[in-house]
A and B are shown apart, each in its own frame.
Chain A
Amino acid sequence: MKKPIIAVKNLHKHFTVYKKQPGLLGSIRSLWKRKYETVAAVDGISFSINQGEVVGFIGQNGAGKTTTLKMLSGLLYPTSGEISVLGHNPWDRESVFQKQFSLVLGQKNQLWWDLPAMETFLLNQAIYDIPEKRFRKTLNKLVDLLDVADVVQVQVRKLSLGQRMKCELIAALLHNPKVLFLDEPTIGLDVVMQKTLRDFIAEYNKEFKATVILTSHYMDDVKELCERVIMIDHGKKIYDGLLSNIISKYARNKTLSVIFSKPVAKKSLEKFGTIKDWSESAATLLVPRKDATKQAAKLLESLPVIDLNIEEAPLEAIIREVFGNKAKDA
């Protein structure tokens, strides 16, 4: 059996949070009496990831995704549990380990604000001890792939968000990390730029056999890049498996989109499923997954149908439903 590149066992991270009473009186009272609360940001998560896998971390805000990534990269000290990344305990922050991974936080940057991105690249070359020949080769390749040749000499603060994000990625990849932690890498970018970055990440994974953990609120990122997803809710893992299986596990309905050759009354559609949308010449129905084919055949038989489509529910809707149900259960 292949030894996993990343192995996490029963990981916990608790934060102590100060609860302040509102107003001036609350502030004064807090001088001698304070209320603290322990928040379990990560609550007993376990998983393992093999080399070359691209895994999506899905969860609502505050679910514990970023906290997990920060523990995997050695920034945060776990309250309890075990982590092994590339055979190292990230918390030891050994140079040999740090030279093999990168953490990219979409909302923050490591680039020097007042200097051109090239200065950060050169600094990283020195810090990561990258030989000149390899540095130039990787840099030229990355600059080419991301099409930023004309901006690397411009002050970072004068770059657009998209250009900055591309330069961030270059800075993070110059040392050819074997493991990439990407936290919302496409946040705030337009759809064209999102697509460019997604293609780039896929290309990088393929070429370097890099292991990637990606968190994103954009389902397109997850759909395009990740075969496997880990869903986290309130610090707990609620799903770990193939993305395609989420749909069969959680999606209760399929969508039937029908176009009619003659006007059809709304009432005559009710027996086929839940009507989501209706006009005399077209309708959208929600049908239980297991009955979808049967109902589609009946529709074709009994009504003047000229076109019919059977679609899975959008991933966003399924995930919304999963988290919605979990919230109700809680």
Chain B
Amino acid sequence: MALSVWSVLFVNQETLFSYNRAEMISYIFVAALLQGLILATSLHGLAQRVYSGEISSLLLKPMSLFSYLAIEEVADKARNVLATIIESGILLVLFQPQIVMPSSGALILFLLWTCGGVLLNFLFSLLFGTLGFWSPETWGPKFLFFIFLDFSAGKLFPLNILPVWLQTMLSFTPFPYLTFMQTQLFLDKVPVGDLLKHSFLILFWVALLALLNSLLWKRGFKSYAAQGQ
């Protein structure tokens, strides 16, 4: 759908919001791939699993709960990426669009930032999982967050089309690193001088969320009631 909408918008124009047609089509494909890789998660039901006591059988085993959840997540992502590749492959064959390809150096950094995005989203999912320690109502806050994420991560449209003040505000959050910044790197739209800054910012958000998770899960386990199990 995004492909059709942007194709119509580019009928009478060469560039739009500083994107030419090839860049925008590349954005759509890369964002779709990143959606499967970064934003899709198997941990949507984690809070419910915590609340219902389903995690008890995992906690009793000599393994880390988080490693187990990470493996579950990786397996889910592998399936998503395979589906996205097949879907995108069909679209590429059908429409034969022009796709912008980055340099090999940018591609390596793109892969690293993507790993950072995957880690960030995993940590967000774990954070929402802790809701289950204290409340059965886990769906509402999570739903609002993911709706907000659709807009703030650049899943639906590039963030450059937003007003500058809103872009500035979002740059103080980790959300652009969940898709948008990776697409900008792929399209060679990130100034070389800013690459290190963004790499550090990804690490900063990962460290902050990991710390927050560590505190909340530690507290949560102390309140864990292992209900129903």
Residues of A within 8 A of B (CB): 15, 70, 73-77, 93, 95-96, 98-99, 102-103, 105, 108, 110, 124, 127-129
Contact = CB atoms under 8 A, between A and B. Distances in A.
Interface string B17-45: 00000000000000000000000000000
User: Taking chain B's interface residues, is the majority helix, strand, or loop, or is none over half, making it mixed?
Assistant: loop
B222 A77 contact: yes
B163 interface: no
Given A75-B224, A76-B224, A108 B60 contact: no
B62 A98 contact: yes
Contacts of A129: 62
30 contacts: A15-B225, A70-B56, A73-B60, A74-B59, A74-B60, A75-B56, A75-B59, A75-B226, A76-B224, A76-B225, A76-B226, A77-B221, A77-B222, A77-B224, A93-B59, A95-B62, A95-B63, A96-B62, A98-B60, A98-B61, A98-B62, A99-B62, A102-B60, A108-B229, A110-B57, A124-B61, A127-B62, A127-B63, A128-B61, A129-B62
Contacts of B221: 77
Interface in B195-229: 221-226, 228-229
A12 to B, nearest CB: 14
Nearest to A97: B62
B56 to A, nearest CB: 6
B81 to A, nearest CB: 24
Nearest to A16: B223
B229 A105 contact: yes
Nearest to B61: A127
Interface of B: 56-57, 59-63, 221-226, 228-229
Nearest to B223: A77
Contact of A75 (B60, B62, B228): B60
Contacts of A95: 62-63
Contacts of A96: 62
Contacts of B56: 70, 75, 108
A129 B228 CA distance: 29
A105 B228 CA distance: 10
A93 to B, nearest CB: 7
B219 to A, nearest CB: 10
Nearest to A128: B62
A74 B61 CA distance: 11
A99 B62 CA distance: 6
Nearest to B59: A75
A128 B221 CA distance: 23
Q: Specify which of B57, B62, B224 lies most central, judged by the most chain A CB atoms within 10 Å of its CB.
A: B62
Nearest to B65: A93
Contacts of B223: 77
A99 B60 CA distance: 9
Nearest to A15: B225
Contacts of A76: 224-226
A74 B223 CA distance: 13
Nearest 4 A-B pairs (CB), nearest first?
Answer: A95-B62, A98-B62, A110-B57, A77-B222
Nearest to A73: B60
A103 B229 CA distance: 11
Q: Specify which of B59, B60, B224, B225 lies most central, judged by the most chain A CB atoms within 10 Å of its CB.
A: B60
A108 B54 CA distance: 9
A73 B63 CA distance: 14
A129 B56 CA distance: 20
Given A77-B222, A77-B223, A98-B61, 15 more contacts: A15-B225, A70-B226, A74-B59, A75-B60, A76-B225, A77-B224, A96-B62, A98-B60, A103-B60, A108-B56, A110-B57, A127-B61, A128-B61, A128-B62, A129-B62
